[in-house]
Amino acid sequence: MVRRIGITMRITGAMDYFEPRDCLAQDWWTFLLSSFPDIQWMGLPNIGNNIQEYVSGWELDGVILSGGKDVGSVQQRDMTETSLMELAVRRKLPILGVCRGMQMLNFFFGGSNIEDLTDTCGKPDTHVATNHRIKVELGPYYNLFKLNEIEVNSFHRQGVTRTALAPILQPFAYSMDGLVEGLYHSDLPIIGIQWHPERKNPAHDADLRIMEKFLRI
């Protein structure tokens, strides 16, 4: 069965040009082409609330909220992803939030993000461009990992703690310093992970199982 998946994009500047541009890391294309060749995917432009009308004719089967920059740093992207989440929740479409995308899910459902990780992790850049171990909790997502602990990549400056987690969201994985690394919605087909499955990752097999879970929901 072909699945049509929309992937959000970051907004970045262009060298030598004073214009914002939407972009998506080619890692996503490589990852999806090699592991899920039957998926049809499209990058979703940052057009704010107009995104719902834009995707109305695409018959999307799910949405990936990709990573890139902090929540709150680019208003147009925040508006676009918020509008997409409203649409997905209304239609009960699966959502996979990756890194920033997981934090957007938490914020959307009433949680808050930790902007300065110093108090929790010792310094704000502890989780930037590194690998670390996470603990997987017993529950509905435990069998995706087959292990109590796995190692994942990490590229984020903001984070979510248990106390900052939205009440409707349930954690299934934590970093050793107390950050939520994986979550799911209690009632809707929504998953969030703090690491990047599309990038080089020690937990590659687990990434494939998470993607398969997302696509089957």
d(CA 211, CA 45): 22
**Mean pLDDT in residue range 190-208:** 93
Please write the tens of the pLDDT for every residue from 8-62.
999 998 777 778 899 999 999 999 999 999 899 999 999 999 999 999 989 999 9
Does the annotation count 19 as an active-site position?
no
SS (H, E, C) 72-123: CCCHHHHHHHHHHHHHHHHHCCCEEEECHHHHHHHHHCCCCCECCCHHHHCC
Question: What element of type H or E holds 27?
Answer: helix 26-35
Per the structure, the count of domains in the chain is 1
Among candidate residues 53, 121, 196, 204, the one labeled active-site is 196
Answer whether 0.85 is exceeded by the pTM.
yes
d(CA 15, CA 17): 5
* Chain mean position to CA 197: 9
Does the annotation count 99 as an active-site position?
yes
Among candidate residues 81, 99, 127, 181, the one labeled active-site is 99
* CATH, residue 81: 3.40.50.880
Copy the structure tokens of residue 63.
Answer: 């949405």
